[in-house]
């Protein structure tokens, strides 16, 4: 089930014919058509075929990698085992997630050996994937317990690799955890024996996790993938001995998809909203017909327990920062009664950030949720037991991910996890608070309706904007905003945590990290600005903001802080670029709205350039308190 990517719909005759045809000629619709074709669950050989055609198209120029909103990334793979047999399938999988991947291979070399050659460089790559098996991290015992689990040696070996790659210019390193090898000896007693292979591998994976956390690397959890499908399925068997394949070929689609998700998360393309259907999804039965005591939920009935498990995983996602919403065909008050008063519900009204419970079609309701939350449809996942509803949403809103589900709910938590829609590259307090924040957004809208005009509404919120330069405390969240923000982002430049650290001490850089809180709660850090001083000008390199605080005039407070900083530096002019992407149209007039003047094209011709002479700046009266510190 997991190796077949069961959450993706199976390709039908139309899709199979399209792929067959694309082998000999171009696919009508180009990159976007390929993205759509890859939303199906192709077997490994077809996936490879698709990847091969994509790579050929990109190389010859007949396909444009970034068409359809994809982001082009170059990845160096340092692989101790064979990797070339799955390059095509990995490329196709990554494209499913909006990443046009160009892969360069260093094959059959351990990371240590690769680093031993001083000529090897990692700059020029967006990503370095260390595809190393257990044997590549030396000292793994084969012959029996060695007395200790080797934590120190393992930690230093992994640190050495991460540090070494960063020294060679690696921007983002991805480490893989390791899994056991079925051909190696292990007995049950080994769990008790220090330095047994089992314990050694566990310690190694711990070291990999620590090194990644300390060095800003990402982890692709190979051991977890192997666990999910089972080691017997994962193990390459004859193809290990004959071709050094790292795992069974039928697991390639899963591996490629997992890697694709991590890459997508890295560039801010992971999903953020889970839309839940109600009847026969969160409980068994129809609340409007069966009533509170007729629906099946909770202990005592198998289906009731399975639906609880579905609620439990939705709740767990929400604790990780996934926004929970409801789209259901029901009478609103009757359905909400279950959230309020059913004793067995895990999900409560306070867990939902927004609901659309009415008799409209699901696609319209999801569109409405997207508008309420200010979040694009490409960040939505829709969970519904009804195949007709799934198809309607899939056809009307192709950006929304709609997992295929088994007929009964017992496998749904597994399918949702297998699909891994909500991968993250970091986890901060802001993530924990996100659901609460989106909930209070609805409350704010109510206050807005009562207050009438916008400014008196904003004043009624008692908001405080906190602005300070980059510092180690904010670094993780700054990196997260820079990697995730797509819509309110003037230049969409991405920087790694290491690069952000350098900015902290660069005296030619003016950096702003901006937090917002109000009577409804603390939004945390929601905006980042980076400027570089050039003589008497400050060039705004990056200006981004979380869309959930749109309309709060935070950008005006940011400009005020920028201007103050410029005055004390003797800068007389601010210059900003707008570089359009398929997703940042909402900031096309950002600089115009702030009183900047259009002075021509951005340097590389990819957008527009704007200027503000400080002598022309008019300080606005902002409906919130602005606290600027640390400059």
List residues binding another protein (CB under 8 A). 23-24, 45, 49, 52, 82, 84-85, 238-239, 241-243, 245, 249
Residue 45 or 613 having the CB closest to another protein: 45
Cβ neighbour number for residue 465 with a 10 Å cutoff: 26
Residue 58 or 457 having the CB closest to another protein: 58
Contact 74, 210 (CB under 8 A): no
CB of 45 to another protein, least distance (A): 6
Length of the chain: 631
Residue 56 or 597 having the CB closest to another protein: 56
CB of 241 to another protein, least distance (A): 6
CB of 50 to another protein, least distance (A): 12
Residues 6+ apart with CB under 8 A from 61: none
The C-alpha atoms of residue 249 and residue 132 are separated, in whole angstroms, by 17
**Rounded to the nearest 5°, which phi and psi values hold at 52?**
-65, -45
CB of 476 to another protein, least distance (A): 41
CB of 560 to another protein, least distance (A): 60
Residues 6+ apart with CB under 8 A from 345: 282, 297, 311, 338, 339
Q: For 122-234, where are the E strands, in sequence order?
A: 127-131, 173-176, 218-220
Residue 245 or 422 having the CB closest to another protein: 245
The C-alpha atoms of residue 219 and residue 205 are separated, in whole angstroms, by 10
What is the full DSSP assignment across 244-277?
A: --SS-GGGHHHHHHHHHHHHHHHTT-S--EEEE-
Residues 6+ apart with CB under 8 A from 619: 560, 563
CB of 43 to another protein, least distance (A): 9
Nearest CA among 319, 375, 385 for reference residue 347: 319
Query: 330 vs 278, 279, 362, 392, CA distance in Å?
Result: 9, 9, 11, 18
Beta strand 218-220 with 273-276 is unpaired
In terms of Cβ atoms closer than 10 Å to its own Cβ (0-12, 13-18, 19+), residue 297 is buried
CB of 588 to another protein, least distance (A): 44
Cβ neighbour number for residue 230 with a 10 Å cutoff: 11
Residue 16 or 249 having the CB closest to another protein: 249
Task: Classify each residue of 156-194 as buried b or exposed e, where b means 16 or more C-beta atoms within 10 Å of its C-beta.
Answer: ebbeebbbbbbebebbbbbbbbbbbbeeeeeeeebeebe
CB of 174 to another protein, least distance (A): 24
Contact 612, 574 (CB under 8 A): yes
The C-alpha atoms of residue 282 and residue 297 are separated, in whole angstroms, by 8
CB of 525 to another protein, least distance (A): 48
Residue 240 or 421 having the CB closest to another protein: 240
Helix, strand, or coil (residue 547): helix
CB of 39 to another protein, least distance (A): 22
CB of 250 to another protein, least distance (A): 9
């Amino acid at each position: 089930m997991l190796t077949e990517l069961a959450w993706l719909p199976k390709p039908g005759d139309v899709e199979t014919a399209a792929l067959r045809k694309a082998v000999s000629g171009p696919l009508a619709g180009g990159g976007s058509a390929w993205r759509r074709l890859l939303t199906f669950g192709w077997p490994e050989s077809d996936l490879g075929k698709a990847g091969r055609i994509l790579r050929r198209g990109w190389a010859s120029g007949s396909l444009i990698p970034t068409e359809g909103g994809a982001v082009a990334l170059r990845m160096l793979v340092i692989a101790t085992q064979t990797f070339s047999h799955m390059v095509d399938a990995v490329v196709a999988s990554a494209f499913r997630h909006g990443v046009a991947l160009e892969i360069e291979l260093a094959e059959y070399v351990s990371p240590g050996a690769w680093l031993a050659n001083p000529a090897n460089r990692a700059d020029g790559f967006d990503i370095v994937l260390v595809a190393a098996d257990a044997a590549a991290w030396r000292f793994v015992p084969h012959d029996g317990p060695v007395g200790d689990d080797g934590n120190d040696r393992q930690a230093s070996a992994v640190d050495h690799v991460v540090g070494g790659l960063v020294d060679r210019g690696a921007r983002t390193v991805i480490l893989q955890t390791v899994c056991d090898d079925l051909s190696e000896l292990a007995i049950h007693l080994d769990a008790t024996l220090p330095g047994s292979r089992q314990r050694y591998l566990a310690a190694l994976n711990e070291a990999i996790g620590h090194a990644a956390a300390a060095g800003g690397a990402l982890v692709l959890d190979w051991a977890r993938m192997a666990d999910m499908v089972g080691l017997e399925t994962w193990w390459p068997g004859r193809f290990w001995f004959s071709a050094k394949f790292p795992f069974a070929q039928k697991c390639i689609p899963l591996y490629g998809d997992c890697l694709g998700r991590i890459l997508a998360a890295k560039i801010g393309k992971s999903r953020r909203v889970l839309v839940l259907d109600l009847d026969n999804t969160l409980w068994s039965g129809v609340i409007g017909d069966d009533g509170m005591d007729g629906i099946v939920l909770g202990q005592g009935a198998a289906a009731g327990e399975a639906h609880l498990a579905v609620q439990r995983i939705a709740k767990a996602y929400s604790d990780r920062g996934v926004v929970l919403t409801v789209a259901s065909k029901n009478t609103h008050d009757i359905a909400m009664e279950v959230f309020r008063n059913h004793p067995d519900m895990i999900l409560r009204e306070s867990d939902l950030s927004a609901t659309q419970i009415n008799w409209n079609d699901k696609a319209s309701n999801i569109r409405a949720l997207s508008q309420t939350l200010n979040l694009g449809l490409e960040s939505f996942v829709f969970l519904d037991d009804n195949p007709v509803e799934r198809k309607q949403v899939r056809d009307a809103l192709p950006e929304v991910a709609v997992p295929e589900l088994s007929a009964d709910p017992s496998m749904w938590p597994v399918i949702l996890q297998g699909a891994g829609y909500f991968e993250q590259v970091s986890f901060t307090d802001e993530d924990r608070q996100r659901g609460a924040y989106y909930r209070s957004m609805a409350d704010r809208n109510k206050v807005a309706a009562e207050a009438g005009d916008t400014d008196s509404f904003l004043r009624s919120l008692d908001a405080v904007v906190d602005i300070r330069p980059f510092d180690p405390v904010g670094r993780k969240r700054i990196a997260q905003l820079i990697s995730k923000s797509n819509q309110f982002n003037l230049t969409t430049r991405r920087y790694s945590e290491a690069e952000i650290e350098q900015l902290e001490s660069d005296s030619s850089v003016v950096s702003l990290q901006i937090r917002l809180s109000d009577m409804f709660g603390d939004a945390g850090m929601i905006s980042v600005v980076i400027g570089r001083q050039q003589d008497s000008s400050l060039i705004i390199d990056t200006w981004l903001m979380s869309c959930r605080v749109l309309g709060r005039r935070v950008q005006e407070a940011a400009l005020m802080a920028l201007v103050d900083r410029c005055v004390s530096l003797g800068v007389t002019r601010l210059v900003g670029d707008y570089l359009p992407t398929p997703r940042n149209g909402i900031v096309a007039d950002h600089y115009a709205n702030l009183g900047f003047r259009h002075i021509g094209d951005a340097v590389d011709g990819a957008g527009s350039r704007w200027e503000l002479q400080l002598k022309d700046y008019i300080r606005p009266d902002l409906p919130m308190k602005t606290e600027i510190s640390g400059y």
